[in-house]
A and B are shown apart, each in its own frame.
Chain A
């Protein structure tokens, strides 16, 4: 049974190779092949899952050693897999949601002549992400990590004929590189500290290392997670990544890519537990990003960018929970899974809306779509209720637990983090209600597109609606299945460990407070966007709104600090090079040249000059000889 683990990665990888190397012959069946292989991965995952359920909690870690990759004395890198409860959760999420997105893409990309290539990239994405979560050492995880970066680059820039898409792909890749540097440094630090980077050797012995080293490793891992999971300060790529086709956005935001950072931190939980400073940094990053993403999400009129801000904010919740230590790990992953369902559903719904509206993304030009797209409306609506944490739906169970855990951190820190998480919940309710109202309610605000075509909103084909319906079911029930009776907690606890915090407020109080802020958020949104008609042209807005429309000036900040700063740095370095380094070199050359120019004049070619020097020399020698004799 354990030999099946490699097939999890092999199936989509085979799909990627065949589809990308197969050429036009495969154009007709390419999308089917890609979908079948992604589904095969899910089926294998499900078989392994059933097998795992049949075993006791201690025997649930499956391992498979494939081959020795870099066998050097003292440096042993193996290609081996480890499938435990944590990896299994990710495998099912990635392959399950991935397969649904594959099915959806069949309809969404129907008219794209490069559809086969698109499915090849999707398969590559899934394969890389699966490799990332089932690797049994950090080096192999790094391979998957880079594979995810590559696939995201290819997919964000899939419509590379648009300069904006090509730029967005480059931006995503470059920002991710910064994070990747963090991961590679962390792996090097691990190797110097522990002499290995296998999970099985590093994690049990993590507490033996000094706290300073663990803090350094933890901070580098956090940097890596910031890059992949779009956390402040490496968040700038996420909004631009919306340039890719919508299924790609769904895949990046729900199943793959942004979840990798959360996985990395939870997987390395032992290291963070022993390094409180690094853990605090993680919670700070999570809390800041949580608010950052939520504020950006409030101001965007582009439906996909509003959802992107929401993803950033929800991942911020997960990172915050992961930074809380054993009281938060389980809930970080639980929120990750429920978020995988509703965010994928929301993005697919957004794609469906765009599909019916001639690829219009501005929500100010939507309105009243609920009558024209009933299935999209229903699934999107359920996803909406799930993300704002409507009681009984999945977001309610997972987000509530995170807010509780934040309070349970204890002390002032706990109050601050809990307050931020509550505030985030209110803002989430506001911006999601705003998206909902602007898209599906109110008056029609449709405009003809650039070619003068009147949009005819219509329901999407069945290949698109079925995945949305399945995801809507997940959005509704996943939280209840996980949360009731602490099923998810018991499932994951053997891997991540769990501790009950000492909360200053009771769970009921937190739930009640969450409900109150939820109602406030929805109420404000309704007052602004539901009661009054939405203006077709965005009002000027307050200073904060205008800043949020520009992603809270993240690009301006990067431009001023990094681009300009880099330019100034290189310019001053060039100046130093020209004046100081070149000055020394050229000065040496000039002084040698000048000296030899003067010495050259001694050689005037006249025989008598040489004779004089000869006589003079002889006279000096004779004089010296005589002098020596006299002395």
Chain B
């Protein structure tokens, strides 16, 4: 199978994720879309690794997974405490930092 197809899939997933981040209000969903974008990147890295025949891309994919795991820990903790404080998980409600 042509590895370029994987790149198409990756860019499709990234676009879906980016659209979700921009459009959705629920913090959990936004968060999941961020994960989707990260995974799209991972897919693209692995596909490139295969296409070019070296392992660099796969190594970076591991790094991305570690960073994503750490991010999930911190991000979910923020979302949970935000929900507790404001009884809402909407990102639009968390707009208090503006002037």
Closest to A597 in B: B99
Q: How many residues does chain A have at the interface if contact means C-beta atoms less than 8 Å apart?
A: 10
Closest to B23 in A: A608
Partner of A606, one of B18, B23, B91, B99: B91
A603 contacts chain B at the CB level, 8 A cutoff: yes
CA of A600 to CA of B23 in the docked complex: distance in angstroms?
23
Residues of A within 8 A of B23 (CB): 608
A607 contacts chain B at the CB level, 8 A cutoff: yes
B94 contacts chain A at the CB level, 8 A cutoff: yes
A615 contacts chain B at the CB level, 8 A cutoff: yes
Q: Mark A588-631, 1 if CB is under 8 A from B, else 0.
A: 00000000000010011111100110010000000000000000
Judging by beta carbons under 8 Å apart, are A603 and B21 in contact? no
Judging by beta carbons under 8 Å apart, are B92 and A606 in contact? yes
Residues of B within 8 A of A603 (CB): 98-99
**Total A-B Cβ pairs within 8 A:** 25
CA of A600 to CA of B98 in the docked complex: distance in angstroms?
9
Judging by beta carbons under 8 Å apart, are B98 and A604 in contact? yes
Closest to B99 in A: A600
Judging by beta carbons under 8 Å apart, are B98 and A611 in contact? no
Judging by beta carbons under 8 Å apart, are A605 and B96 in contact? yes
A605 to B: closest C-beta gap in Å: 3
| Chain B, 77-99, CB within 8 A of any chain A CB | 91-92, 94-99
Sorting the interface of chain B by its residue count into under 10, 10 to 19, 20 to 34 or 35 or more gives: 10 to 19
Residues of B within 8 A of A600 (CB): 99
A511 to B: closest C-beta gap in Å: 97
Residues of A within 8 A of B21 (CB): 608, 611
Partner of B94, one of A604, A607, A611, A612: A607
B87 to A: closest C-beta gap in Å: 19
Judging by beta carbons under 8 Å apart, are B99 and A611 in contact? no
B60 to A: closest C-beta gap in Å: 18
Partner of B91, one of A604, A608, A612, A615: A608
Judging by beta carbons under 8 Å apart, are A611 and B95 in contact? no
B70 contacts chain A at the CB level, 8 A cutoff: no
Residues of A within 8 A of B97 (CB): 605
B73 contacts chain A at the CB level, 8 A cutoff: no
B74 contacts chain A at the CB level, 8 A cutoff: no
B1 contacts chain A at the CB level, 8 A cutoff: no
Judging by beta carbons under 8 Å apart, are B18 and A615 in contact? yes
B54 to A: closest C-beta gap in Å: 22
Judging by beta carbons under 8 Å apart, are B22 and A608 in contact? yes
CA of A572 to CA of B94 in the docked complex: distance in angstroms?
56
Residues of A within 8 A of B96 (CB): 605
A154 to B: closest C-beta gap in Å: 66
Residues of A within 8 A of B95 (CB): 604-607
CA of A605 to CA of B96 in the docked complex: distance in angstroms?
6
CA of A600 to CA of B18 in the docked complex: distance in angstroms?
26
Closest to B97 in A: A605
Residues of B within 8 A of A608 (CB): 21-23, 91
Judging by beta carbons under 8 Å apart, are A611 and B92 in contact? no
Judging by beta carbons under 8 Å apart, are A607 and B98 in contact? no
Closest to A603 in B: B98
25 A–B pairs (Cβ distance < 8 Å), ordered by A: A600-B99, A603-B98, A603-B99, A604-B95, A604-B98, A605-B95, A605-B96, A605-B97, A605-B98, A606-B91, A606-B92, A606-B95, A607-B30, A607-B91, A607-B94, A607-B95, A608-B21, A608-B22, A608-B23, A608-B91, A611-B21, A611-B22, A612-B22, A615-B18, A615-B22
Given A600-B99, A603-B99, A612-B22, output 4 extra A-B contacts at Cβ < 8 Å.
A603-B98, A605-B95, A608-B21, A611-B22
A residues with a Cβ closer than 8 A to B are 600, 603-608, 611-612, 615
